[in-house]
Structures are given as C-alpha cells and as structure tokens.
Amino acid sequence: MGSRIRIIGLRATALHGGAALAALAQPRAPLSPTNIFAPVSTPSQWIIELSRLVLMVTGAIFIVVFTLLAYAVVKFRKRRASDVREPAQVYGSTQLELAWTVIPILIVVVLFLATARVIADIQGAVRPSNAIEVTVIGHQFWWEYRYPSLKVVTANELHIPVSDPTHPTPTFLTLLSADTDHSFWVPRLAGKTDLIPNHPNLMWVDPHETGLYLGQCAQYCGTQHAMMLLRVYVQTRDEFNRWIQQQSRPAQFNGAVSEGQRIFERTACINCHAVAGTAANGTFGPDLTHLMSRDTIASGAVTNTPENLRRWIQDPGVIKPGCKMPAMGLSGPEVNALTQFLETLH
C-alpha cells in the first residue's frame, strides 16, 4: 500500500542530521531490499507508523537539548584569561527540577501507550480460516519449510501468496528450531522473531505486493550464521497454487541419469537428504525433491547453476566454510554424474 507510506525525512533527522536517511523511505525503488522503512506487509507497516511517533518525539528532544547544550558551551565559556572571579554558585532549583522530571514522565507515558497498542495488535492478531500455514524449522545453516495442510516440504526459498488488504490472506509462520537459536528477519515483511528449540513461536505476514523479499538469520547460530539467507517469494494466487502443485509431485526420473541416481542412493547422501519417490528420506539436510525449482543453493549463498552445484558437492567448505555438509570425497566423474542427476529434480 504505497499511499500509506510517507516520506519520513524530517523525522529521520532525529539521528542528528542524517539527511541521507530521508532517502531511505522510498518504497518504490528501495535503497536496499532489506530497508525497514519500506514495508509491504501489515506488521512492518504498523512498526514503521509507530517508529514515526518515536522518531518525532526523540527528534524533538534531541533538538531541544542539543540546542541548550550548544548554547551553554558557547555562551558560558571562559572569555578572558584574567577573569578569575568564580561565577555565582547555584545549588539547585526545585521548580526547574520538578519540571524536567514531570515532562519526561509524560513523554514516557505517551510513548508507552502507543507502543503497548502496537504490541497488542501484532501479537494478538487472530488467524483467519483462510490463512496459509507454514512451519519454519531453523537448522544450522538452512531453512526448512513445511506446509502441513498442503503437504509440501521444501527448503530455503519460501513461497507465499500475496494478500489483498481488502480481503486479507495472511501467512502464519510457526517457528521451530532443530538445533540452536535462529531468527527470521525479512525486514519488509515483519519484525524479526526468533526460532528457539523447545520454544515454538508464531508470526504472521500479509504482503501486499508480489516480488522477492530478502532477509537473513538474525540470531548468531554458529559458524555460518552469516550465510543463512532468506528468500521469500510473494506470488499471485495462481502462481502460488501452481507452485504448490509442482512441489507436491514426487521426483520425476530420467533413465539417462541413473548413474548419478545410483551414486546418490549408495553414498551417504540419503542419510541427510530426502527426495520424494526414492529411498532417500533423510531430514538433517534440505529436501532436494524439487531442487531445480530454486534460484539458489546453500541457503542463498550462490545461484543454482550446474557449475555452482558441482563446486558445492565437491567441497561445501569452499563456498560455506564450517557448514554441516561434509565433502564426500567423490571423484570428478562421480561428481559430474551426481550433478546431472540433481539437475533433473525439477
């Protein structure tokens, strides 16, 4: 909803003269794909509306106090070196001290009430019956997505339908973790919420514009925390339904790659990975059934090209040092065959 977002340049100077910040609030051509001031989903929008109030208030406080401080430093500086008289000693003033206690208290009350309202709105949102439900499971260092009612399991690239503000179809995400703490942060969609083992969390998004939205894990989870990237594809209803149908199919095989398939099934790959329709049903690593439907591999680290796939399988540590997938010690021809097999998993 572009019309609801106004340029907040003036408020942004609360950060002491950040004229550059005025440029931040441009939803149509964002300075950054992860700019928090370019919300496209209700939770993010509510946060930014609240932030306008907070920035206005803190900005005003800053201007007032900064001016007083600057004035004092200039006006009351020692002027003549010969001036050795001490100035009048003032020990306090009850009225003044009362004023600058009461006024901050009032400001705090206002900010608190505005904040409490937004917390209640976001955390108290009721799940409508037509909401899409996704279970997100954080792993070291990739994202697992399950759509329980649609019977789809995928990894690393989340697809959700766009939501019409007049007839919202939000997506509710249940956040779990298989190992350490993670955090799901796609700034244009919502504030971040952590994925903590044994502590399920719930968040929701209702993006109003289709497109690809980026983010990444925002809670330190180990060596490759930095490359646990998020890609959320917001699609039209039709596109989303088509995607779901495609993801629901088991893997389609091609006799020409049976050598690669044989390597896949005989090596330890199937211990960690799953490919629907084969013997592979490991859950430690991402589901590969529709690997070729993804734009990237290694949780967004590199684009999904045959060359990158080959490099990844040969030695994941070259792309993501410290990740949990080991180099399997395969020979060149073996890697090639395996790659060709994986290339058929659409």
Helix (H, G, I), strand (E, B), or coil: what is residue 267? coil
Residue with smaller CB distance to another protein, 86 or 238: 86
Helix (H, G, I), strand (E, B), or coil: what is residue 245? helix
Helix (H, G, I), strand (E, B), or coil: what is residue 155? strand
Closest distance between another protein and the C-beta of residue 266, in Å? 26
Closest distance between another protein and the C-beta of residue 41, in Å? 12
Please name which of 206, 281, 297, 291 lies closest in space to residue 247, comparing C-alpha atoms: 291
Residue with smaller CB distance to another protein, 92 or 332: 92
Closest distance between another protein and the C-beta of residue 288, in Å? 24
Q: What region, left, alpha or beta, does residue 300 occupy, with left being phi > 0 and alpha being psi -120 to 50 degrees?
A: left
What is d(CA 32, CA 187) in angstroms, rounded to the nearest whole number?
Answer: 10
91-94-96 Cα angle (round to 5): 95
- What phi and psi, each to the nearest 5 degrees, are found at residue 138? -85, 135
Closest distance between another protein and the C-beta of residue 294, in Å? 17
Please name which of 184, 131, 153 lies closest in space to residue 291, comparing C-alpha atoms: 153
Provide DSSP, 165-228.
Answer: TTB---EEEEEEESSS-EEE--TTT---EEEBTTB-EEEEE--SS-EEEEEE--S--STTGGG-
Tokens representing 82 are 């010969």
Give residues with Cβ within 8 angstroms of 122, minimum separation 6. 43, 46, 47, 191
Closest distance between another protein and the C-beta of residue 262, in Å? 31
Q: In which element (H, E) is residue 147 found?
A: strand 142-147
Cβ atoms 25, 18 nearer than 8 A: no
Closest distance between another protein and the C-beta of residue 106, in Å? 10
Closest distance between another protein and the C-beta of residue 84, in Å? 9
Closest distance between another protein and the C-beta of residue 264, in Å? 26
